[in-house]
Structure 1
Amino acid sequence: MSDSKPRDVQVLPIATNTKVLRARSWSRLRFEIEYALERGTTSNSYVIEGDKTAIIDPPVESFMKIYLEALQQTVNLKKLDYVILGHFSPNRIPTFKALLELAPQITFVCSLPAAGDLRAAFPDDNLNILPMRGKETLDLGKGHVLKFLPIPSPRWPAGLCTYDVQTQILYTDKIFGAHICGDDVFDDNWESFKEDQRYYFNCLMAPHAIHVEAALEKISDLQVRLYAVGHGPLVRTSLIALTQAYADWSKAQKLEHHHHHH
């Protein structure tokens, strides 16, 4: 599939003081197995504006320019307080660099492993970093108290979910996503991309089934009405079904793994 449509960023309010910025690529990004269905993908970032402003998961370098343009039209970067990271990847460092130039006052909020990665990536800068080990909360004001769930796995040692008590949104980063690009911000017609969700799980989650189960266990303590995912449509309609599917798939994966090794 060729790049029939240019890349763009969809900006949409999704809850009180909360917006999603979906950077869209209509063709596959890299030649990695996880994009083999060739349905494109979205890189989703989020903005929460209480008395303090936080953004969650700025995208990789290939989306950097259009993302920063959209972000500047959405928030006043001089008033940007926090950048929350659901995971760490080297291809996001150029985006962090550009953000620091526009908003040198920002504090990164991330897991302990990500704090180490950030310091290594910016050895000369005295970055403001708030590491979250799981007990701390971050109060953005206007009721937006954030809780953090570290969910490390071999592939994403720096994995971190963020939960907003006010909106009951769980920012799940890599979990519950799908590589599919379209106009639908939410999963209301999720039946049409069930196979994409399954394929995404098989490629990215299945090898770490035991870690997925640990993450599901942590999530189960929360009242969640929306999974704000890192890729693809946001999950509300299929929330219960997809959560159950993840539990079933993880269990099946562990059994299969068990049989192979014995």
Structure 2
Amino acid sequence: MVHGGAAGHGWGAYWFVAVALFASTVSPYEVFFFSSGGVEERWGSADLANARSSVLVGFPVGGFLALSLVATAAVVFHPEGVTLDSLAQVAHPVVLAFGGVGLAVAALAFFAVTFGAALETGLSAAYAAAQYFGWQWGKWVRPREAARFHSVLLVSVLLGVLMLLTTVDPIQLTEYMLVLSAVVLPLTYLPILIVANDRTYLGDRVNGRLVNLLGSVFLLVIVVASVAAIPLAVATGMGR
């Protein structure tokens, strides 16, 4: 997400981009997806090591890759005042650096992340709807036994495909969705922090003082991002 007019708005545009990027890393749908998946796959104490490795290794690697994309865009596109509006433009620096091999790797990466995101968001919508209305749910449950769950999943993916066939700008739509995600983040994160201190659910696995302190600081950051999201979007014209 790079806007050629960001410099014209000063720091406000950059703060908007920061809030949007922050919202993309802790989107509410991820909570529905991973918590429901954990219940479905019956995660237990033995899975804590895997969960910790995902947080301590996977998150930093993902953050580094995201930062690399932003840095590359700043070096390659920003000096030219270029606004990115297609995946082909995103892949351009990779092609310049690595040629055909880089293009092949970029194409494979684009397929992996878009396909994975479609599955995650579709399943998240199905999990949320089924659990709210009390339907049978689960990706391993046969469609005949959880018809409404699988229907929501299928319809969600199809709606996404149909949206791409319209004249709606997918990048701009994503930006609007990130703003809305930032607004509702406290409503997603606060219950997690509360449950993480409930011995009825977690027994001796509840948060310690240090983790609670870090969690409270993170909650404060989330609240600030939530409050600032819409004013920044309006004041900067969605960062443009």
TM-score, structure 2 length as denominator? 0.26
Question: Structure 1 or 2: larger helix share?
Answer: 2
Work out which structure has the larger RCO, using CA pairs closer than 8 Å and 6 or more positions apart in sequence: 2
Structure showing greater Rg: 2
TM-score, structure 1 length as denominator? 0.25
